[in-house]
Amino acid sequence: MQKIIVELGSRSYPIFIGEGLIDKPEIYTTLLKTKQVMIVTDAVVEKLYLSRVIEALNGVDVYKHVIPAGEIQKNLESMNEIITLLLKNRFGRTSCLIALGGGVIGDLTGFTAACYQRGINFLQIPTTLLAQVDSSIGGKTAVNHKMGKNMIGAFHQPHGVIADVSILRSLPDREYTSGLAEVIKYGLIRDHKLFMWLEEHIEELTDRESDSLSYVVEQSCRNKAEVVAIDETEKGLRATLNFGHTFGHAIETGLGYKYWLHGEAVAMGMIMASHMSVLQGWLSDNDMERIHSLISKVGLPNQLPQLLHSKDIRDLMSIDKKISHGRQKLVLLKAIGEAIVTENFQESFLQETIDFFHSKIR
């Protein structure tokens, strides 16, 4: 088992990474400071892991709340259901929520914990690759609005993260592949060594070989933890973690949070952002080809979905949390392993990028 600390002073917390961790009572004993717990999960994860977590929480008063699976559930209505149950069961400020699931469950549960009685503890037990390497770490919690993804949220750090890599072997192929987008992202924005490793070992990773899985989860968590420790509330460096997300969120919103998974939209967003970086004269054509090749090899999208129009994407990108004083900010690449957050880009290149990929839809 590996233990990585997200260094935030008095609010520091551990990320535990290893095999079979959700079954270990001693980990929960270490993290929990209460006997009153509510587990929030979805209908798919409930059947696979809920009973194992409850068994490991021996001696704790456990409640559960199960929602349907899917990004479309990440909204204020779902949040209100959880709060109603917390109130009915008289959960106090010393109680704890446990997010057992992927990014949707983690974001929804975390935002509920941030708001309930002005903030209670919560634990993250991420069950997807994407959640283990990215969304469960760093305290960004939110729900969606029909006009924009993650537009209602708060920074609220978890009390701990339990990343059981053995769970990843049972993920559906598409869900697993979606998570690889966030792993690739770390290589692109700050870890050239990781990107080169991915190029050399991608077959082992797509086969879910144990050592390769453990390596990418640990390296990704270390990258995320380092960034969060430096810039918790996204004033600078942390914004680079949004590489591909401005394009990707526009795609997700335009599709009504249906049809594509988050990682699939981010992968397409990274290709578009890389293309625009080439137009800016920053990224080399060779690096762009390497990025496109790796994303395609793992089976992630490299073309826009047919349901979207060029104007829709541009309009949706204008509703973005990174807009400052009316000016769009984008995360672009200077090179593989070097990202920049900038508003000093040529506007025509943004539209040219959108039009280029829209023209390739078939």
- Of the residues 156, 224, 275, 321, only one is catalytic, namely 224
- Of the residues 245, 275, 321, 329, only one is catalytic, namely 245
- Of the residues 46, 175, 234, 252, only one is catalytic, namely 234
Task: Annotate 208-255 with DSSP letters as a single string.
Answer: T-HHHHHHHHHHHHHHHHHHHHH-TT-SSGGGGGGTTHHHHHHHHHHT
- Of the residues 3, 88, 90, 118, only one is catalytic, namely 118
Sign of CA dihedral 108, 91, 57, 123: positive
- Of the residues 65, 159, 185, 238, only one is catalytic, namely 238
Task: Report the chain's C-alpha Rg in angstroms.
Answer: 20
* Known catalytic membership, residue 200: no
Name the burial class of residue 84, with classes exposed (0-12), middle (13-18) and buried (19+) by CB atoms within 10 angstroms of its CB: exposed
* Known catalytic membership, residue 234: yes
- Of the residues 182, 218, 232, 252, only one is catalytic, namely 182
Q: Kind and range of the H or E element at 269? A: helix 262-279
* Known catalytic membership, residue 224: yes
- Of the residues 149, 242, 264, 321, only one is catalytic, namely 242
And the tokens for 118?
């002005």
Which amino acid is residue 151, in one-letter code?
Answer: M
* Known catalytic membership, residue 238: yes
* Known catalytic membership, residue 80: no
In terms of phi and psi (left: phi > 0; alpha: psi -120 to 50; beta: otherwise), the region of 292 is alpha
* Known catalytic membership, residue 290: no
* Known catalytic membership, residue 262: yes
- Of the residues 65, 140, 159, 190, only one is catalytic, namely 140
* Known catalytic membership, residue 344: no
- Of the residues 249, 275, 321, 329, only one is catalytic, namely 249
- Of the residues 74, 159, 185, 262, only one is catalytic, namely 262
* Known catalytic membership, residue 118: yes
And the tokens for 115?
């708001």
* Known catalytic membership, residue 64: no
Residues taking part in catalysis = 118, 140, 182, 224, 234, 238, 242, 245, 249, 262
